[in-house]
Structure 1
Amino acid sequence: MTVAPAPGVVEGLDAWRDLPAGQQPAWPDADSLARVTSRLEQLPPLVFAGESDALRAQLAAAGRGEAFLLQGGDCAETFGEATADNIRNKIKTILQMAVVLTYGASLPVVKMGRMAGQYAKPRSSDSETRDGVTLPAFRGDIINGYDFTPEARTPDPQRLLEAYHTSASTLNLIRAFTTGGFASLLRVHEWNRGFTANPAYSRYEEIAAEIDRAIRFMAACGADFDALRTVDLFSSHEGLLLDYERPLTRIDSRTGQPYDCSAHFVWIGERTRELGGAHVDYFSRLRNPIGIKLGPTSSGDDALALMDKLNPTAEEGRITFITRMGASKVRDLLPALVEKVAADGRPVTWVCDPMHGNGITSASGYKTRRFSDVMDEVTGFFEVHRALGTVPGGLHIELTGDDVTEVLGGSEEIDDEGLGRRYETLVDPRLNHQQSLELAFQVAELLRAS
């Protein structure tokens, strides 16, 4: 880690450099890395501190049951797929889901994309071997290339700059789409009506009809639909690559406090949440709202220790626990974790990631998931919180706005043979556009029953 501290940083901000940092690449050229990170320090922030503060307040509301978080996007963004069409389709999918969830929950939905920064991925092994050849593992476009060649797989610091510029253009388009009329409630509702017109999704026609009546009622009452033409869509990614997050940290001129300005919200993954590790130490010093992934090995004591380190002042909206237990384990393992945290009394927001605990390999060799398992974990998440009297605060979904075939099942019944039609992900399988909307309608039913 060779980045020099920026002038005027808060004391201790670089203490993480002396701690073990998991999942970091072996950069071959320290001088090149230093030049790139120095340039990143000089570039404008991608987001602003005030926006992160607004998100923290909304996440606090979700933790109290006064809002609901929908966080969705790619498992791993790629530079090549950062096109206007792909970005528009992801935004469209998130907006469609949010309208359905808003109606189901009768609550505001906090909309957050796994977008404009989700370029780094943790890996279970540092290397990959094919036909007797061993090369570094693919760690995402921000680090190296997917092609299995020595040139592509060598970590390249220049990719950090490409990640910054691709994120900037993505955020620019997100802001244009969400403020220029594309996100209008009337337009999004028409999209959903088109979805339920498909006979495969006829079971959701009743909810869609109820939403339609509600909108017509609003219109009859003189609702200002112009005020519903814009939405806030916050950016988020796993704060994995510290050589990217650190240079994009800025000191807020209002408060003198550090914010990671690469995204509004960053999370610490299951593989990097070691209490004495670099990631936890670094993010403990930032003012952004922070997510923490908790898998099936997480204990209540682990959660409390992370709260001690990351939120010593017990601030609402600061900590979001994103649980990823797996459908077969969520009802057995989640209750003890939630009970321990609830008994402590400090505020957290609970969110369900039903994707990462449900990975399988299909008979034909594809890395995939079953839609039924994804939905079952969400159902179990709601059941546990309902039984304990705690708040199910949101969903964290890997999705795309395109008609890929990466997840088995759903009403269109993608089978093993069908996976090969449009299996496009480089890392983890994603719900396609239709499966994402189907999940939203089913979660709306759960919210209405809560």
Structure 2
Amino acid sequence: MTGVITHETAQWQPDSWRSAPTGMQPVWPDEHELPAIIDELHAAPDLVTAGEIDALARGIAQAAAGDALVIHAGECAERFSAVSAADVAARVAQLRELGDELTGKRSPAVVIGRIAGQYAKPRSTTTRLLVRGFSVTEIASYRGDIVNDVAPDRLSRTPDPRRLLRAYHHAAATMSLLRADAVDRAGSRTSVFTSHEALLLQYEEALTRERGGSWLNTGTHLPWVGYRTADPAGGHVRYLSGIGNPVAVKVSAGTSPSTLAEVCARLDPDRRPGRLLLIGRFGADRVAEVLPALADVVRNAGHVPAWVCDPMHGNTFAGPQGRKTRRVADLLREITGFVGALTKMGVPAAGLHLEVTTEPVTECVGGPGGPDAAGLARRYTTTCDPRLNPRQAKFVVAETRRLLLR
């Protein structure tokens, strides 16, 4: 199902994004070092295969038709320090468990991890102020391990292009462990596919190769674009428009129906089932209001996407001491509104997109195993956004299954 190069797309090249306005790209201090690193990435082996990409596209097409469910979950931002056999095995086991929980093992689960490449993070501001006593220092924002380090000092936060290579090698190590897990589970009906936000386009371009008559991003099965970079005329959408992978788009309450229609037209001109995964992140108070018009314009344009609910990013607020958090109750309200709105329209609700961790963190409020607002500090370890701990994640998925099976 990977796309073939047609006359219309023949002029697209992996670097076509460079002629479009493109935000969220780091400014590397040493631009002279970057070309050699990009050349090395160009020569690096593929991380995923065309056959695997096709298998994911078939699964997404099934979910869009209501014949399967998607669980798309994982860390907010992967860390280079978290690539070990034990760590990856725990994350894969969690993904498989959540897939089984969502479907009740009654229908196929399309299991997609934010794994083996989720190293870049978009940030609203490029710098932040570090206050220590009477001293105030401006440092660069943490933008994921692929760009800089989380340690709050100027040296650690300086973008380092060598981290692009480190990201590739950590992703390769993770893929190796994923494949070993698949071999150990020979005969299992559930594969785990990889995904990450295709944010740093120089990195994505370097891993884009012509395979079997199609340009493929060979660094991940499912690249996706966030709501900050989903400009239909922008570089991120232009990049995704030319690759044959299935692609995902974050859709927010601020996305207009006309903008979404244009994004979908650029990414899915052939209206190909399995091409689009649309991830709604509206907020519990807005989902019922804004989703119907968005789903309607997409359907009327002839696209058949899999609509997946991200109940996390639209429900973030500042808790005690300024810690970002989310209420499990709000997540469930958004999921309920999401499923209800699509069900009324006769459009399948295709699954969930969650930020989760295998650790017993206290970052989201409520639910089993979750703290109240005052207890967030007990085990708040995220480098970016608050994640569900294993008990909370399983609870949210189980409640979603009950909604879907009504």
Quote the residue 2:183 is aligned against: 179
Aligned equivalents of 1:85 and 1:423: distance in 2?
A: 22
Confirm or deny: 8 A CA contact 1:92 1:401 kept in the other structure.
no
Quote the residue 2:56 is aligned against: 55
Quote the residue 2:5 is aligned against: none
Match of 1:164 among 165, 168, 182: 168
Alignment TM-score, normalising by the size of structure 2? 0.94
Deviations along 1:107-159, one digit per CA (max 9) or x if unpaired, are 20101100000000000001111233112211000001111222111111100
Match of 1:349 among 297, 306, 310: 306
Per-residue deviation, 1:237: 0.5
Structure 1 counterpart of 2:49, which letter?
F
Match of 2:157 among 131, 139, 153: 153
Quote the residue 1:43 is aligned against: 44
Match of 1:305 among 229, 248, 262: 262
1:1-400 matched pairs, under 5 angstroms: 11-13=11-13, 14-103=15-104, 106-131=106-131, 132-181=136-185, 227-228=187-188, 231-252=190-211, 254-255=212-213, 257-400=214-357
Aligned equivalents of 2:358 and 2:196: distance in 1?
A: 18
Runs (4+) of structure 1 exceeding 3 A deviation are none
Deviations along 1:252-298, one digit per CA (max 9) or x if unpaired, are 0x22x210111000101100011111111111010010101110111
Structure 1 counterpart of 2:187, which letter?
A
Per-residue deviation, 1:314: 0.9
Confirm or deny: 8 A CA contact 2:369 2:389 kept in the other structure.
no
Of the structure 1 ranges 359-368 and 314-323, higher mean CA displacement relative to structure 2 is found in 359-368
Aligned equivalents of 2:174 and 2:88: distance in 1?
A: 7
What secondary structure is seen at the aligned counterpart in 2 of 1:235?
A: strand
What secondary structure is seen at the aligned counterpart in 2 of 1:234?
A: strand
Structure 1 counterpart of 2:195, which letter?
S
Confirm or deny: 8 A CA contact 2:37 2:161 kept in the other structure.
yes
Per-residue deviation, 1:64: 0.7
Structure 1 residues not aligned, in runs of 5+? 1-8, 182-225
User: Residue 110 and residue 410 in structure 1: after superposition, are their counterparts in 2 closer, same or farther (change >3 A)?
Assistant: same
Aligned equivalents of 2:370 and 2:43: distance in 1?
A: 50
How many residue pairs match? The answer is: 393
Confirm or deny: 8 A CA contact 2:370 2:389 kept in the other structure.
no
Quote the residue 2:367 is aligned against: 410
Confirm or deny: 8 A CA contact 1:179 1:231 kept in the other structure.
no
Aligned equivalents of 2:370 and 2:139: distance in 1?
A: 37
Structure 2 residues not aligned, in runs of 5+? 1-8
Aligned equivalents of 2:35 and 2:201: distance in 1?
A: 13
Alignment TM-score, normalising by the size of structure 1? 0.85
Matched, 1:439 2:399: no
Identity of aligned residues (%): 39
What secondary structure is seen at the aligned counterpart in 1 of 2:143?
A: coil
CA RMSD of aligned residues (A): 1.5
What secondary structure is seen at the aligned counterpart in 2 of 1:364?
A: helix
Per-residue deviation, 1:408: 0.6
Aligned equivalents of 1:237 and 1:284: distance in 2?
A: 16
Per-residue deviation, 1:346: 2.2
Structure 1 counterpart of 2:43, which letter?
Q
What secondary structure is seen at the aligned counterpart in 1 of 2:223?
A: strand
Of the structure 1 ranges 311-320 and 125-134, higher mean CA displacement relative to structure 2 is found in 125-134
